[in-house]
């Protein structure tokens, strides 16, 4: 939660062989700075994650699942968490989901919301098939 979510991001990005995904509740970091939507000067949130090696970043993009969660009344974390998820998706992350929780501020959602997040992270990924030999 919050700062703990930031640490979850860091661990998931740098240890994809250990962590198959993360649930980022009310906070998220990224491997590069994140544009603040509609900001007149183009200001950005600091990414906060030192870039992993290219090989690890490929594993994170292809083989880990990322659930970004924020309460609709958690200002400014809602906008920042949503922007991180959108940037990850546009950067080619294959398994990202954003969930906004009505009537939730900077707090913990009800268990059924968290259970939904766990199901998303635990869902087995399809193993890509090897190309057929010519």
Q: Does the pLDDT at position 128 exceed 60?
A: no
- pTM beyond 0.85: yes
Measured CA to CA, the distance from residue 8 to residue 96 in angstroms comes to: 15
Q: Give 123 or 23, the one with higher predicted confidence.
A: 23
Is residue 3 over pLDDT 60?
yes
Confidence (pLDDT) at 71:
95
| 33-87 pLDDT, tens digit each | 999 888 888 899 999 999 999 999 999 999 999 999 999 999 879 999 999 999 9
**What pLDDT, in 10s, does the model give residues 76-117?**
799 999 999 999 999 999 999 999 999 999 999 999 999 999
Is there a contact between 24 and 9 (Cβ–Cβ < 8 Å)?
Answer: yes
How far are the Cα atoms of 5, 18, 57, 68, 90 from residue 37, in angstroms, in the given order?
Answer: 21, 33, 25, 17, 14
């Amino acid at each position: 939660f919050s700062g703990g979510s930031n640490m979850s991001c860091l661990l998931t990005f740098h240890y994809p062989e250990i962590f198959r995904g993360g649930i980022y509740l009310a906070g998220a970091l990224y491997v590069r700075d994140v544009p603040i939507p509609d900001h007149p000067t183009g200001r950005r949130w600091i990414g906060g994650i030192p870039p992993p090696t290219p090989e690890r970043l490929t594993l994170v993009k292809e083989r880990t699942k990322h659930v970004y969660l924020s309460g609709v009344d958690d200002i400014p974390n809602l906008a920042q968490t949503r922007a991180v998820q959108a940037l990850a998706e546009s950067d080619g992350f294959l398994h990202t989901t954003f969930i906004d929780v009505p009537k939730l501020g900077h707090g913990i959602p009800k268990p059924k919301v968290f259970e939904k997040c766990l199901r998303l992270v635990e869902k087995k990924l399809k193993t890509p098939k090897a190309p057929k030999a010519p």
